[in-house]
A and B are shown apart, each in its own frame.
Chain A
Amino acid sequence: MNAPFNPLSPIDLALLHQLQEGLPLCSRPYAKLAEELGCSEELLAERLAFLQETKQVRRSGLIIRHRPLGFKANAMVVWNLPDEQLQKLAEQLAVQPGVTLCYERPRRLPDWPYNLFTMIHGRSEEQVRAQLQQILDRLELNHIQHDLLFSEHCYKQCGGRYLHKDKAPLAHMNKHQGSKDVVHG
């Protein structure tokens, strides 16, 4: 959070751009980028492994959308956990079935009393509510203030694109790449 921009090599930046947009579906998906960058395909595959080992990439591979697979309900479940119990309860919540994300975020009093965010995906609202109830019972959290925010409509969704091609830190890279369509946000 709020870390200073981490300078990455032009090759790593170009690779990350490609991975945000998606690798081509062909036998040698790194070939074109390697040619543009003047490096080997092996290097690009190894850089991805390195970026993942150093946790700059969270995960890689097939990035799936849940909705077309039938997981139509997604709820943000927010919790007002007592500060002294946050660590312990958050660790328990994080590994409950159906919970896909679990983050501590700041309260913003008086408007927003919640300090922990979890995401629960399910096939229907009823299933998500049932899953939440099981979690409340299992961890004995029924007395804890919480709220469910179902997603009703997606206004915008375009993968986590943290790097924008038209932004200053990447200017040096565009020279390597030549002109490409700017795809962002």
Chain B
Amino acid sequence: MELTDQQRLLLNQFQQQLPVSTTPYADMAAACDMTEAAVLEQLQQWQEQGILSRVGAVLNHQKIGSSTLAALAVPDEYRDAVALQVNDYPQVNHNYRRTHRYNIWFVVTGRDSAEIDRVLEDIEQRTGYAPLNLPMLQPFHLNLGFAL
């Protein structure tokens, strides 16, 4: 889908820091030469179209709780069933099938590393496949949003 210049301005300007204000949508509107009502209507529409996940925040898991990236190598015939078992855990918040022998990739988050270890051990016992545990050691590029 094609974006207008005004839509692109709105999308690109507010992926990094929400205006520090009790009326952030009015602030966005002022910066984009739009009315607050038009901004709200646009965001509503993007949400309905699935473009906007939410107006909110991405937390830093190095400071708040703990997380890891894990992967399983599962034969194709069992792959989807195992992926659904992984989905069952509330600590799992992303789970993708990828083109590799390690074909199930998921992120586990928890209060601390002990909780994550428990989940990974449980997944191994339940599915019979041992996850690779690949916690982030060092970030080189924090995701600062996506220029469109």
Knowing A48-B57, A61-B55, A162-B65 are in contact, say whether A154-B139 is a contact too (CB < 8 A). no
Q: Mark A1-19, 1 if CB is under 8 A from B, else 0.
A: 1111110100000001011
Which chain A residues (33-53) contact chain B, with CB distance < 8 Å? 41-42, 44-46, 48-49, 51-52
Q: Which of A94-102, A135-143, A173-181 contacts B (4 or more CB under 8 A)?
A: A94-102
A168 CA to B48 CA in the complex, in Å? 34
- Contacts A2-B66, A59-B57 given: A104-B140 contact, CB under 8 Å? yes
B136: which of A4, A103, A185 is its contact (CB, 8 Å)?
Answer: A103
How far, in angstroms, from A117 to B132 measured CA to CA in the complex?
Answer: 14
Indicate if the CB atoms of A164 and B146 lie closer than 8 Å.
Answer: no
The residue from A27, A55, A62 contacting B14, defined by CB atoms under 8 A apart: A62
**B112 → chain A, closest Cβ, in Å?**
6
Flag whether A172 is at the interface (Cβ < 8 A): no
Q: Which chain B residue lies CB-closest to A65?
A: B53
Q: Which residues of A pack against B, CB within 8 Å?
A: 1-6, 8, 16, 18-23, 25-31, 41-42, 44-46, 48-49, 51-52, 54-71, 76, 90-91, 93-95, 99-106, 108, 111-112, 117, 121, 147-164, 166-169, 184-185
Q: CB of B49 within 8 A of chain A?
A: yes
Contact B17 A52 (CB under 8 A): yes
Is A95 touching B109 in the complex (CB atoms < 8 A)? no
Please state if A5 and B145 are interface contacts (CB–CB under 8 Å). Answer: no
B105 to A: closest C-beta gap in Å? 7
Evaluate contact between A162 and B95: CB separation under 8 angstroms: no
In the bound complex, residues from chain B placing their C-beta under 8 Å from that of A28 are 22-23
Contact A6 B64 (CB under 8 A): yes
Pick from B94, B100, B136: contact of A149, CB below 8 A.
B100
Tell whether B38 is near chain A: CB-to-CB under 8 Å. no
- The reply to whether B136 and A1 contact each other, CB–CB distance below 8 Å, is yes
Q: A105-B134, A149-B98 are in contact. Are A23 and B89 (CB under 8 A)?
A: no
Q: Which residues of A contact B96 (CB under 8 A)?
A: 151-155, 157
Q: Known contacts A27-B23, A101-B143, A103-B139; is A61 also within 8 Å of B134 by CB?
A: no
A106 touching B55 in the complex, CB below 8 Å, given contacts A28-B23, A61-B18, A164-B90:
no
16 further A-B pairs in the complex, CB-CB below 8 A; given A1-B113, A57-B57, A164-B90: A2-B66, A25-B55, A52-B57, A56-B59, A57-B58, A58-B59, A59-B16, A64-B11, A69-B51, A103-B139, A112-B71, A112-B102, A155-B84, A155-B95, A157-B93, A160-B58
